Chain A
């Protein structure tokens, strides 16, 4: 058997994805991006109409109309890509995780065809900064508050040889009592609400709570159901939001680091 293992290991080169290629990458998530100079009022209205989760909206302010895109609500269904007539494309990179829901929202002036700059996107995290941020030890406890298991599948993937989360000093722990950070997935169901609160209480302070996925950030496709309470922040205080349905492992790594960076910068 040892021979087999050595043989396997020799035949397969390392699959580890370098840090630079990981940060900001969102391949396979189908998050949308808007090409501002192709935007027209007609397209903007159609986009809002086809969006199944109110991720896209139009706000009027002082006589001007703005298209808003809330990534926390987006389930990456691709409807806007189909009906955007080229004004919406799949995002090439993603820097829209935030410590408030507002930081995951982008705005475009529809008539002026320009994006209104908000807090993000942040400057890219420098390679050296990562270890300073984490000090090589962040214990994470994942908590499923009612998710469909899509986010869990992607969080589990973080420990595979491609992402190897342990290289950043991030460990998944079995008990909330050992955790610095709770990664909460799913809309909080009525049946899980008490368990979510109890788990939060069990994490020793100081602690960070990060809502993961469209459901965790906003309720996602399940918003409005009688059997859910709502997004994670309707039950416990939330310190960070990672959008996506589900967020890819690369988005999860970038999101966790981005949330930490913004907290330290506060």
Chain B
């Protein structure tokens, strides 16, 4: 139970009376990596702020602050905290002092001032027309280009405000949360075992990672272990999702530079895996398989073996395509030096996943905070320090190879036995779990009373990585923006929740 924190922080203890936390340090003395910040309301109506850090060991560390007074911002020391604190201010009405930018983040102009959905009644909230000011870049020849929320293609909505001189982007400001569906609030009151369906709908293309992560949080909270066969099948599902996502992203990058042949090959490979999944488990994206306690139903071993063979074939085909992509001069020309995210910016904003690894950060939840069957595997974490589009493409290509190999190993030695351990949750339970989703570190923190959720927080890798994207775009030409954005491949719905 390396990831379990519930026993370390029984209700009420560990709560400091200070209005500002002391940022913890790793063993080497560097400031710890911020994982997430979120609010909660105790039964006595006290508001709490939870900070979760990664100190470098196998566990995570949580600090809980009572927000009975204004809370001092830590965004100046840890820029990664900026969006989380804005969210707290917006959703919980917690006063944050010393924050550089407290404009509404999640609730747009249509929300009236002073409504904080996580603590206030939200029936029939009136429509309003507030003001929102974008940062203005002034000077000779500077123009603003507004893009979105509706984009030209089959993509999720979000707004980008570019300040440009000619073709060159001086500044990019993001305006997101168009797909905000109040998911965290919607968790409250649901049965802790059934709410996994909601977790599956946070980010549709990473739904299995969300389902597993939520399930693990509940399992950690109840202190139960799930059968080995369920762990093995979960690993197959998680790695398959990564494989599908990375193949699709590599194809997407080709689309954005007009290399249609490779893009079409990638969509073919992706579709072949989705069809194989439908044969194996009944749904194309592994929806409705993982539940707290293991799996909803067992998968046929022969079908799983077939899936392993399909992955092997897909990997052989993909290797050829990848070689074609990496060796084509016109692709190299577009990918290399485009959209550089410096290691410094990446560390300041505590980015995660392939984006972090492409900018030199050595980070992978599967290796650093192992869970499930990953405890038995040696995970090699590919890393480069270039931080450009090519670096992110290379990281993905390397991870496809690792995932394909892991799936084949596990499908060859699938344990027998049942796939479900009943979950019994009485009284007050609390659990935390982290999973390396295809986009990076995904965390769930849940709290339930008598089997009903009282709070569920989702730390999505996209929420963490979006603020870093503008830093990669600055100095590039606006025409390269779609390519750079695609190389990050962030989820809007996962971020907006």
Contacts and interface: CB of A to CB of B under 8 A. Distances in A.
Contact of A191 (B122, B178, B197, B285): B178
Interface string A152-166: 111111011110000
Interface in B170-187: 177-183, 185-186
A153 B324 contact: no
B198 A28 contact: no
A5 interface: yes
Query: Secondary structure of the B side of the interface?
Result: loop
Which interface class (under 10, 10 to 19, 20 to 34, 35 or more) fits B? 35 or more
Nearest to B284: A28
Interface string B109-123: 011000001000011
B186 A144 contact: no
B156 interface: yes
Given A147-B493, A148-B204, A152-B154, A221 B182 contact: no
Contacts of A144: 155-157, 179
A133 to B, nearest CB: 23
B268 A190 contact: no
B328 interface: yes
A158 to B, nearest CB: 9
Contacts of B321: 8
Contacts of B272: 15
Contacts of A162: 268, 271, 275
B152 interface: yes
17 contacts: A4-B324, A5-B261, A76-B287, A78-B288, A146-B180, A147-B204, A148-B207, A153-B205, A156-B154, A157-B267, A187-B181, A192-B149, A192-B157, A221-B198, A222-B183, A224-B186, A227-B180
Closest 5 pairs (CB-CB, A-B):
A150-B204, A28-B278, A227-B182, A226-B122, A174-B152
Given A142-B153, A225-B183, 20 more contacts: A5-B261, A8-B320, A8-B321, A28-B282, A142-B154, A144-B156, A146-B157, A149-B491, A161-B264, A161-B267, A190-B110, A191-B108, A191-B180, A192-B149, A192-B157, A195-B150, A195-B157, A221-B201, A222-B183, A225-B182
Interface of B: 107-108, 110-111, 117, 122-123, 125, 149-150, 152-157, 177-183, 185-186, 194, 197-198, 201-205, 207, 261, 264-265, 267-268, 270-272, 274-275, 277-278, 282-285, 287-288, 296, 317, 320-321, 323-324, 327-328, 491-494
